[in-house]
């Protein structure tokens, strides 16, 4: 992992439409982080294969010999101090493309080590993970049904904490399909400001 003092951020997007709000948010965040180094991983454009295949299963159990496309993602993350997952909320969770990226990339032997003898040993302590979900529904609906808590528990606790990564900022953009461009722009700028401020904050020692 990048242990330097200057933040280096990896923005990960999972939306097939380059004109989507997801990609707009990614571009705004990249601009807000300038002049800090930023890399964008557009999983759809890069045609990342999210399917967990037999080679992935072998690598998971043996903790090595990862497929070449997974190794590429490992190298990206190893160069980063921060990763931001920017994604539309599908069925109160992340898109299958992003879930498959996590399934294949955050694996045993790299993101963590687990064995019956020694138990769990997280390995991503030098990485801070931020979340930027883009949701069509309003915050009241998420609150009433516990959808935000469920999504945050799944990702923040079930993935980020499990791998030992630091929790960064989580900034929902609600009501992303409002007919008012001004209202949407305000929500985007608020979320971008929250994430960029968190990335620029000194990492805890």
The pLDDT tens digits for 45-68 are 999 999 999 999 998 888 788 999
What is the pTM for the complete model shown? 0.93
What's the order of all strands across the beta sheet hosting 128-134? 38-42, 9-13, 82-88, 128-134, 166-170
Which pLDDT band, with edges at 50, 70 and 90, does 202 fall under?
confident
Tens of pLDDT along 65-90? 899 999 999 999 999 999 999 999 99
Return the pLDDT at 1.
60
Instruction: Compute the residue count for the chain.
Output: 205
The predicted model gives 133-145 an average pLDDT of 91
> What φ, ψ does residue 31 adopt, rounded to 5°?
-65, -40
The predicted model gives 110-126 an average pLDDT of 90
Tens of pLDDT along 30-42? 999 999 999 999 9
pLDDT > 60? residue 12: yes
**Cα 176 to Cα 188: distance, rounded to the nearest angstrom:** 9
The predicted model gives 6-25 an average pLDDT of 95
pLDDT > 80? residue 205: no
Torsion sign across C-alpha atoms 97, 89, 22, 198 = negative
* Mean pLDDT of the chain, nearest integer: 93
Q: Which of 98-102, 188-192, 200-204 has the lowest mean pLDDT?
A: 200-204
In this prediction, what percent of the chain has a pLDDT beyond 90? 79
pLDDT > 70? residue 204: no
Place of tokens 């990960």: 12
Which pLDDT band, with edges at 50, 70 and 90, does 15 fall under?
very high
Nearest residue to 172 via CA among 200, 202, 145, 143: 143
H or E stretch covering 21: helix 21-33
Torsion sign across C-alpha atoms 22, 25, 31, 33 = negative
């Amino acid at each position: 992992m990048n242990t330097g003092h200057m933040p280096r951020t990896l923005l990960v997007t999972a939306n097939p439409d380059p004109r989507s709000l997801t990609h707009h948010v990614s571009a705004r965040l990249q601009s807000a982080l300038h002049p800090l180094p930023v890399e964008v991983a557009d999983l759809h454009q890069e045609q990342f294969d999210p399917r967990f295949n037999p080679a992935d299963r072998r690598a998971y159990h043996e903790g090595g010999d990862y497929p070449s496309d997974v190794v590429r993602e490992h190298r990206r993350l190893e160069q980063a101090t921060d990763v931001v997952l920017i994604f539309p909320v599908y069925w109160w969770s992340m898109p299958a493309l992003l879930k498959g990226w996590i399934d294949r990339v955050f694996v045993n032997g790299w993101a963590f080590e687990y064995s019956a003898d020694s138990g769990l040993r997280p390995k991503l302590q030098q990485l801070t993970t931020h979340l930027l979900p883009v949701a069509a529904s309003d915050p009241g609906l998420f609150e009433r049904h516990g959808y935000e808590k469920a999504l945050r528990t799944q990702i923040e606790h079930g993935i980020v904490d499990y791998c030992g990564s630091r929790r960064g900022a989580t900034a929902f953009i609600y009501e992303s399909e409002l007919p008012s461009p001004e209202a949407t722009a305000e929500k985007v700028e608020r979320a971008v400001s929250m994430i960029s401020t968190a990335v620029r904050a000194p990492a805890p020692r």
